[in-house]
Each structure stands twice: as C-alpha cells, then as structure tokens.
Amino acid sequence: DILPELLQNAGPGAFRLRAALAATLSSVYGMYCGFELCEGRPLPGKEEYLDSEKYQLVAWDADRPGNIRDWIARLNNARLTQPALHTYDSLRFFESDNERVLFYGKRTPDGTSTVLVAVSLDPYAP
C-alpha cells in the first residue's frame, strides 16, 4: 500500500516497468487493485494512495483510458508458459552496454525452460 514517488509522477511507463520487474524477477507476485489502471494519485505529501482500498471500497472503471491491462495479461501469459519464471534460485544478472537496461535470466533446474529478460529502467522510454 506504499505509493512510491515514481508511480505518482511517471505515468503508465512506470507502472509497466514495475509490473515487468515484479513478474519476471520474483517467483510469485501480486498487485493492488487499481495498479493495472495506473492509479497513482497520492494523499498530499505522502506515499499513500488517495483512494486506498485499505479504508474503503472503490468502484474502479476497468476500461478507463491509459490502463495497462493488456501489458499485464502478456506478462501473466509469459509466466504461464515459461516455467523458468516460477523459479527464484536461478536468477542471474548479466552485463548490459546500456546503464538504463537491466539484463537478467532464469532457468528451470532441468534446463527445459530458460528466459532472458531485458528491461528498460527508463519509465519515459516507449
């Protein structure tokens, strides 16, 4: 329920970045309702959501413009079809020629599933 400053100001790119990192670095992940809608309105001066579901029920418009539902669906499909993304102990980081790109990989113990991931750390990049 913490809303980092990045998500308050960077728009959908920051939400896509955070979702990609969570879905591919961790063996398990989840998200708060509203994340897929890029809900980033903070309580003034705080790192808390203005419309936090901790304190109220919120009727979200799931189809509102700017959502990243398709992006999250693609990440979930990758997790469904790539068993390596369910592992945690095979994570390896690799060098990247670009300091704004995080490059890493995972594989299953038997080697039947290997995934290489390159993530742009620039939330404003297309």
88-125 pLDDT, tens digit each: 999 999 999 999 999 999 999 999 999 999 999 999 88
pLDDT band per the 50, 70, 90 thresholds, residue 1: low
Is residue 71 in some structural domain?
yes
Q: Does the structure show a pLDDT above 90 at 6?
A: no
- Residue closest to 113 by CA, chosen among 88, 91, 81: 81
CB 101 within 8 A of CB 121: yes
* pLDDT score for 58: 84
Rounded to whole angstroms, the Cα distance separating 22 from 86 reads 12
Contact 3, 42 (CB under 8 A): yes
Q: What are 28-77's pLDDT values in tens digits?
A: 999 888 889 998 888 888 888 887 777 788 888 989 999 999 999 999 99
Q: Position 53: which residue type? A: E
Residue 125 domain flag: no
Show contacts of 97-102: CB within 8 Å, 24+ apart: 100/125, 102/21
Q: Of 14, 1, 12, which Cα lies nearest the Cα of 47?
A: 1
If one counts the domains in the chain, the total is 1
- Alpha helical stretches, state H, 12-82: 12-25, 69-81
| Whole-number pLDDT of residue 49 | 84
Contact (Cβ atoms closer than 8 angstroms) between residue 18 and residue 38: no
What residues make up the domain containing 13?
A: 5-120
Structural domain includes residue 95: yes
126 pLDDT higher than 80? no
- pTM exceeding the 0.85 threshold for the entire prediction: yes
86 assigned to some structural domain: yes
